[in-house]
Amino acid sequence: MGRGKIEIKRIENNTNRQVTFCKRRNGLLKKAYELSVLCDAEIALIVFSTRGRLYEYSNNNVKATIERYKKATAETSSAYTTQELNAQFYQQESKKLRQQIQLMQNTNRHLVGEGLCSLNVRELKQLENRLERGITRIRSKKV
C-alpha cells in the first residue's frame, strides 16, 4: 500500500524541517549514485543546508563536471541577449504573481463565504479550521 501525498510547502517546525532535510538529502544522494551507476552518467550534485553546510556527490571530479557544465551552458547562453533573458525572467515573475493574486482572491472569497460550492470536503474542513483559529485569536485579544 502506497503512502499518501504530502503537500509540498515549507515546513515551519525547525526540527521537523531538519529531519526531513536529512532524510531527503540522503535519498537524493542515493538516487544520484544509482543514476551514475545504472546509466553511466556523469553526475555532480551540490546541496547546501540552511545552516550553510555543504553536501556533495560526484562520480568523477566535481570541479571538472562543473567546468564541463559551464562550457556547455556558455555556448548556448551566448545565443540569448541580456534583454531576452530579462524579459523571460520578468514574464515568469509576472505569471507567478498573477497566480498568487488569484489564489489570494479565492482565499478571501472563501473566507467571506463566497464560492464555497467549488470546494471539496477536505478544503472546507481546512477553511473551517482557519476560521476557528481566527475566531479564537480575536476572542483572546478581546479578553
Enter the pTM of the model: 0.48
Closest by CA to 131, choosing from 115, 112, 103, is 112
Q: Please report the pLDDT score of residue 97 as a whole number.
A: 95
Q: Please report the pLDDT score of residue 113 as a whole number.
A: 78
Answer CATH for 14-79 from 3.40.1810.10, 1.10.3720.10, 3.40.640.10, 3.40.50.300: 3.40.1810.10
**Distance between CA atoms of 57 and 15, rounded to whole angstroms?**
25
Q: Please report the pLDDT score of residue 76 as a whole number.
A: 66
SS3 at position 58: strand
Q: Please report the pLDDT score of residue 96 as a whole number.
A: 94
Phi, psi at residue 79, to the nearest 5°? -75, -25
Question: What does the domain layout of the chain look like in residue ranges?
Answer: 14-79, 92-142
The tens place of each residue's pLDDT in the chain, 143 residues long, gives: 567 888 889 989 999 999 999 999 999 999 999 999 999 999 999 999 888 899 999 988 889 899 988 888 877 666 667 778 888 889 999 999 999 999 999 888 877 777 778 878 998 898 889 889 989 999 999 88
